[in-house]
Structure 1
Amino acid sequence: MDKAEFDSFADEYLSMHARNISASGEGPAFFAEYKIRDIAEEMTRRRTLPTRMLDFGSGVGTSIPWVNHYLPNAQLTCADVSERSLELAQSRFPDSSRFVHFDGHTLPFEPGEFDLAYAMCVFHHIDHAEHVHLLRELKRVVGPRGTVVVFEHNPLNPLTVKAVNTCEFDVNAKLISARNMERACRDAGFSAVDVRFRIFFPHRLARLRPLEKYLTRVPLGAQYAVYANAA
């Protein structure tokens, strides 16, 4: 999806997203929250809580309140190709973050400007031929000690595939297997890459979700996360 397509969907993004994931029994906030909570828990475990974070492909700012909640000491920068999405994010959460437009090719940031960068289900909208280049850009802006976290839909999960195939703003999306995303990270120069599968139970089975921490290596979750480090 290019800038014009993202701009055209920006105003209706949240309502379309909510309709599209209704079968899960959860809303967009649930999926944004779990990702930031996962990052906060993992970086706490590593004893390297980030203070300068980049939301790559931030859209209308769905992650902002959760960064404020789980990582209150972090300064967040939101970057996106869609200027309309950034406008909406800033209007929803004024003075909460820095909002930066980028051209889809080169991130307008200095090397090592961030401790951590994350992308929430962004790369399936990007031509696969561009993945390694953009991962290298993310690696550049987090520096040799930073972390890049990529969340993506799992094409091995049939409910995920159905949701993507019926979503208006995913019409040009091409899902990425966890194996291919791991390979792209390694091709981009990351030497430590860890893949974890997430979201196995819908809302009606939410009481089973505490078991998910034992299932992160089972490649059937609705989504997966890749934690990538240069060393």
Structure 2
Amino acid sequence: MDKAEFDSFADEYQSLHAQNISASGEGPAFFAEYKLKDIAEEMRQRGKNVSRLLDFGAGVGNSVPWARKYLPEAALTCADVSDRSLEIAASRFGGQAQFVHIEGFELPFDSAQFDLAYAMCVFHHIDHAEHIAVLSDLRRVVAPDGMLVIFEHNPYNPLTVKAVNTCEFDVNAKLITASQMKRSCLAAGFSRVDIKYRIFFPHALSWFRKFEQYMTGIPLGAQYAVYAARS
């Protein structure tokens, strides 16, 4: 995770992100919202209450309004290596979350502090050799019976690969397969890891999205989610 790199893109992030995903016919809000909606529904199905929530790699805060919408009772902490990104996030959503700067692999939080932690397309910016160390500390700060949710770009989807390869702030990114991420989560000590593939149709074919709930096992979605349980 390169702080200087993310600081340099922070002010342009929204416009660059919107431009990069324009082929999907959707904007950044769509991708931020569906993730939090998915998480809230998954927690409901699992019978889990979320009162303490960590957004790991929160960036400029795009997930904040959707966390407030779909998990309104949860106290939200947004953490990131980029001071500038956190400044922008706080200016956009001050009072809706706590904003915390992080460095390295040791998170500045007590053990078992959060019921749920999530990372939205963060791990492809972290050296793969460092994944298990980062995941291990995320496991530490998640409470027993809590969960970590990771969304990532799917390297088996050609449109996703093209978008990442042409994105300025993804120039040093290295995509991760869902199976690789699952293995890393298990190696970090999580007890159960489930994979769900997401976003199969662009906006022009959005009518077909109602069928995506039956397609989560097909490894061709633009993104995927990993739900890692901590026992």
Name the TM-score, length of structure 1 as normaliser. Answer: 0.99
CA distance in 2, matches of 1:210, 1:49: 26
2:192 corresponds to 1:203: no
2: CA distance, partners of 1:150 / 1:184: 12
Deviation at 1:46, TM superposition (A): 1.2
Structure 2 counterpart of 1:42, one-letter code? E
Shift of 1:145: 1.4
CA offsets per residue over residues 146-195 of structure 1, 9 Å max, x none?
A: 10000000000000000000000000000000010000001001111000
**Superposed structure 1 runs of 4+ greater than 3 Å apart:** none
Residue of structure 2 equivalent to 1:223: 223
Residue deviations 1:82-139 (CA, integer Å, cap 9, x gap): 0000000000011110000010321000011000000000000000011001101110
> Are 2:142 and 1:158 aligned?
no
**Which runs of structure 2 are paired with 1:1-231 in the superposition (5 Å)?**
1-231=1-231
Aligned-residue offset at 1:28: 0.4
Aligned residues of 2:120 and 2:151 also touching (Cα < 8 A) = yes
Q: How many angstroms apart in 1 are the aligned matches of 2:44 and 2:182?
A: 23
**How big is each residue's C-alpha offset from its partner over 1:195-216, in whole Å with a ceiling of 9 and x where there is no partner?**
0000000000000001000000
Q: Decide whether the 8 Å contact of 1:40 with 1:49 is kept in 2.
A: no
RMSD: 0.7
Consecutive unaligned residues of structure 1, counting only runs of 5 or more, are none
In structure 2, what is the Cα distance between the partners aligned to 1:106 and 1:227?
22
Query: Partners of 1:64 and 1:49 in 2: how far apart?
Result: 18
2:61 and 2:33 map into 1 onto residues whose CA distance is: 12
AA aligned opposite 1:188? A
SS at match of 1:159: helix
**Secondary structure class of the residue paired with 2:19:** helix
The alpha-carbon deviation at position 47 of structure 1 amounts to 1.5
- Secondary structure of the residue that 1:133 maps to in structure 2? helix
In structure 1, what residue type is equivalent to 2:63?
A: S
Task: Provide the C-alpha distance between the structure 1 equivalents of 2:104 and 2:85, rounded to a whole number of angstroms.
Answer: 14
Counting matched residue pairs gives 231
Letter matched to residue 166 of structure 1: T
> Structure 1: how far apart are the matches of 2:148 and 2:200?
23
SS for the counterpart of 2:144 is coil
Q: Could you state the TM-score of these two structures normalised by the residue count of structure 2?
A: 0.99
Unaligned residue ranges in structure 2 (runs of 5+) = none
1:70 offset after TM fit, Å? 0.8
Are the counterparts in 1 of residues 142 and 230 from structure 2 also a CA contact under 8 Å? no
The CA distance in 2 between the partners of 1:104 and 1:17, in whole Å, is: 25
CA distance in structure 1 between the partners assigned to 2:167 and 2:53 by the alignment: 29
